[in-house]
Structure 1
Amino acid sequence: MRTRTGYTLRSMVEHDVAAPLAITFTHQAVGSFFLMTAPVLAPLIADRADVSSSLIGSYTALAYLAAMAASGLSGFAFARLGALTTSTACILLTVAGLALLGASTPWLLGLSALIIGFGYGPLTPASSHVLAAHSPPRWKNTIMAAKQTGVPIGGTLAGLSMPFLIATLGWGWGLALPAAVGLAIALVILTRCRSIDRRTPPPAQGRMGPENAPLGPWMLSLGAGAFCYAGVQMSLTAFLALYFVEHLGLSLAAAGGMIAVFQMSGLVARMGWGTLADRLGERIPFFVVIGITIIAAVGIFLAVARPGASPAALILATMVLGTFGNSWTGLYFAEIIRSVKLNEMGRTTGIALMFTFAGVVVIPPLIGLAVTLTGFPAAFALIGLLGGFGAFAGRMARRVSR
């Protein structure tokens, strides 16, 4: 059956989209799984390392600081190795970082964050470059949204599986099993990655910076919106498990289930936003609308997710939060794909990600400080306020559209 946007599985294969999409989706899912493992296990990691659980925001910030550096350097690796081959090598890095997550000393946990972050950073620039080369223009929003669903799927699997694996197998084998799976996936897809890289136009070479990248008012405004939205998404991701465990008194397993609800809601919403954007085009400023909905979603969550709330109410509130607080990235990268040349895609996406990663580096530690000083409700209210700032920045980007 053909959808209104004009694509079927057969047509995706004919247009050489299916295999690149499947591989980039896999890279995003595996990388997200390993990156999300620390926030999911935050209470256990804090007890094991004898640190405050609110410092998980600093772990996340450190990981994304490394990711920001890696995304800025990724264009050089893409030009020499190919985008997908580079991504596969990065998955191997995240496997190594996961192995260190079982350490009981803070400095080894910091090293784990740096290694996982450095491996995670190039995944989105690589996928954007490859999919921009292989996707027909009328499908770009939906294809980008489909690829980005790998992120919440990876987070969902981490939320559902890691508390169970650690409780059942202990720290050693509980971390070794997903690491072995990640290693096997990387080795299995490596040959196909090389084949696709040979059919993909290489990225423009040279150093990224203001002199050869779109860092004008449009990119700065759009990037400011991404800075805010990324801070919202990662703050929710980093502190949601702690909110359920420490503020509401849920078990770690139940909190992991709520994280899965949050991630899966974002997965469905990403596809919905992408499909709407493909159908309605420029008529509705979706990148602005998402910020407004974030304010409402956080307000609903705080009103419902209180001590004594029923499980059904908590699930519903978490679904709302995930639908609007964890679904913006496909719209961001689709905006960029429509606005830059193909041979600039990898480098430009790397720059765009630096805004995103900056939000992740700066905002979660500040939210962690707010949790310590004011408690969870006030800190989450600040997260919602960031959605408003993101909407304003998105509006400015449309006014100075390139």
Structure 2
Amino acid sequence: MDKQRIPRSWLMLALGTVGQTASTTVLYGLAYLIPAFQRELGLSLAGAGLLVACPLAGVLLGLIGWGVVADRYGERLALSAGLLIAAAATAAAAAVHGTRTLAALLVLTGAAGSSVNSASGRLVIGWFPPDRRGIAMGVRQASQPLGTAVAAAALPPLAQYIGLSAALGFCAALCGAAGLAIALCAADPPRPRRAAGAPAAQAPYRGGYLWRLHAAAAALCVPQFVVTGFALLFLTEVRGWSAATAGGVLAAANLAGAGVRLLAGWWSDAVASRIRPMRLLAVATTADLALLAAGAAWDSPAGTVALLLAAGLTVSTNGLHNTAVAEYAGPDWAGRALGVNGMGQHAAVVLVPPLAGALIAARGYPALFALAAVFPLVAAALLPARDKTAYWPAPDGGRGAQGPPTVKI
């Protein structure tokens, strides 16, 4: 290319978004392969749900470690290494036939891919000033519903017409391409300089602020995984849609969810708060899930509409709580704090697929959706009263006239 100059922050945001999108397809998109797991592996719904939970269990094993790597050695190393290992493990999973071996490889995929959860947030926060971090993290977090949309659109037809191995191979190729792009093009954000003899930053966990954020984030993730994991089955089994039609509609709904995250990030920048928009969105999510439960109980079209709305609302707060956690933890602890935040979320949801499958078999979808509606209400009560942030200057010292640092391409 010519010597056109683009803001380096934008390039880093693009790379972080690509990495998150690629990892999402395998970490959170395997629910769209539940029919294939049942068909090709002969699993029950609960057994297929357990297999879907394997990458989530792996994420629990890797989050803190990758956060330490990002804090000490840089985001580029953590992101590229994690994605490339995840690609290799997923490619191996595509080639095996035994359920136990497949489960073990999916756990490894989750452990490796969890680097994205800890490191890409640091990469974005470090390259943007405070009054643009909300929208920047909204773009980065929009990659999760975008990755889910890719999974919804691509995995069911690949599994149906070619086979389960093709669907897993597709996920491996995405992770490998993203890992290579980050290894070649990413740059770690500059770290704030500490004066000679100044003490190292203390751990930000002495008060209850971060713990309340972590607990609220964990509660908010439960309905997200309920909707992501069982929307396809609800539309096919209860509403009678074809798998291809349901997958396409859910892909569109997840793309809308990406837009909701962008709006949430812009809103938080406009009001200079992450907490207030998060609380209001949590209450709105509870209302929508209650409508979904009622619509499912009375076989109303309103239930289908509420389900599609839930695909956007349940993911709307992810960028907000990750931004709040990183800003409070500061540049010395953000990677580990984001790792703890992600660990709490995955600890809360790792059993959602098998337990939700069992609840559907025993009580039906209305009971599942009604229970899911409780969690965002709990999150709204757990959130701190106001925002607190640490000192974390932008790379250029703020939004000065010269703008963000640039890079030649």
TM-score range, shorter chain: 0.7 to 0.9
Task: Return 5+ residue gaps in structure 1 as ranges.
Answer: 1-11, 205-210
In structure 2, what is the Cα distance between the partners aligned to 1:138 and 1:401? 14
* Structure 2 counterpart SS, 1:109: helix
1:88 correspondence with 2:65: no
**How many percent identity over aligned positions?**
23
Residue 292 of structure 1 corresponds to 283
Does the 8 Å CA contact 1:60/1:361 hold for their aligned counterparts?
Answer: no
Partner of 1:377: 366
8 Å CA contact 1:163–1:252 kept in 2: the answer is: yes
2: distance between equivalents of 1:130 and 1:63?
23
The partner residue of 2:119 within 126, 135, 159 is: 126
CA distance in 1, matches of 2:94, 2:363: 29
- Is 1:201 the counterpart of 2:188? The answer is no
8 Å Cα contact 2:21/2:146 also seen in 1 = yes
1:5 alignment partner in structure 2: none
Show CA shifts across 1:218-254 (max 9, x none): 1222111111111111121112112222232322212
Residue 101 (structure 2) pairs with residue 108 (structure 1): yes
Match of 2:308 among 319, 323, 336: 319
Of 47, 54, 63, which residue of structure 2 is paired with 1:55?
47
**1:343-401 residue CA offsets vs partner (Å, 9 max, x unmatched):** 2111111112121111222444432332222111111111111121111112xx22796
Number of aligned residue pairs: 377
Listed one character per residue, the Cα deviations across residues 141-168 of structure 1 (whole Å, up to 9, x for unaligned) are: 1111111111111110111112222333
CA contact 2:54–2:110 (8 Å) conserved in 1: yes
Q: 1 CA distance for matches of 2:97 and 2:293?
A: 34
Shift, 1:103, TM fit = 4.7
Whether contact under 8 Å (1:226, 1:359) holds in the other structure is no
Matched, 1:22 2:14: yes
8 Å CA contact 1:241, 1:252 repeated in 2: yes
Q: Could you tell me the TM-score, scaled by structure 1's length? A: 0.85
Question: Measured at CA, do residues 189 and 164 of structure 1 come closer, stay the same or move farther in structure 2, by a change above 3 Å?
Answer: same
Corresponding residue of 2:269: 278
SS of residue in 1 equivalent to 2:160: helix
Tell me the distance in 2 between the aligned counterparts of 1:85 and 1:386.
Answer: 36
Q: Does 1:398 align with 2:385?
A: yes
Q: 1:178 to 1:399 in 2, by over 3 A?
A: closer
Q: Distance in 1 between matches of 2:80 and 2:151?
A: 20
Deviates more, 1:106-115 or 1:170-179: 170-179
- Alignment CA distance shift 1:365-1:340 (3 Å): same
Of 139, 142, 149, the residue aligned with 1:146 is: 139
Counterpart of 1:3 in structure 2 is: none
Equivalent in the alignment of 2:326: 337
Q: Is the 8 A contact 1:97 1:111 kept in 2?
A: no
For the pair 1:234 / 2:257, whether they are aligned, the reply is no
More helix by percentage: 1
In structure 2, distance between residues paired with 1:224 and 1:188 = 34
Q: Name the SS of the counterpart of 1:281 in structure 2.
A: coil
Q: Deviations over 1:271-320 (max 9, x none)?
A: 1111111111239712211221111111233344579766xx67643331
Give structure 2 stretches of 5+ with no counterpart. Answer: 195-201, 390-409
Q: Which residue of 1 aligns with 2:392?
A: none
Partner amino acid, structure 1, of 2:99: P
Q: Residues 126-181 of structure 1: CA distance to partner in whole angstroms, max 9, x if unpaired?
A: 01212222111110111111111111111101111122223333334444344334
- Contact kept, 8 Å, 1:41 with 1:163, in 2: the verdict is yes
- One-letter amino acid of the counterpart of residue 372, structure 1: A
Contact 2:286 2:373 in 1 (8 A): yes
Residues 105 and 23 from structure 1, CA distance in 2 versus in 1: closer, same or farther, beyond 3 angstroms?
same
Structure 1 residues 340 and 278 mapped into 2: Cα distance closer, same or farther (>3 Å)?
same
Aligned mates of 1:171, 1:392 — CA distance in 2:
42
Decide whether aligned partners of structure 1 residues 380 and 115 sit closer, same or farther in structure 2, where only a CA change above 3 A counts. Answer: same
Pick from 269, 274, 277 the counterpart of residue 260 of structure 2.
269
* 1:6 alignment partner in structure 2: none
Q: Report the AA paired with residue 289 of structure 2.
A: V
| Aligned-CA RMSD value | 2.8
Q: Deviations over 1:20-75 (max 9, x none)?
A: 10110001000001223420111111222212123343234332222122111113
Contact kept, 8 Å, 2:71 with 2:332, in 1: the verdict is no
Give CA deviations for 1:90-112 in whole Å, capped at 9, x if unaligned.
22232234331575533123113
Normalising by structure 2, we get a TM-score of 0.83
Structure 1 window deviating more from structure 2 (113-122 vs 256-265): it is 256-265
Return the alpha-carbon distance in structure 2 between the equivalents of residues 315 and 246 of structure 1. 13
Of stretches 257-266 and 373-382 in structure 1, the one that deviates more from structure 2 is: 257-266
Instruction: Kindly provide the amino acid, as one letter, of the partner of residue 139 in structure 1.
Output: R
- Which residue in 2 is equivalent to 1:31? 23
Contact 1:203/1:343, CA 8 A, preserved across alignment: no
Residue 136 (structure 1) aligned with residue 129 (structure 2): yes
For the 8 Å contact 1:148–1:330, the answer to whether it is kept is yes
Aligned residues of 1:57 and 1:239 also touching (Cα < 8 A): no
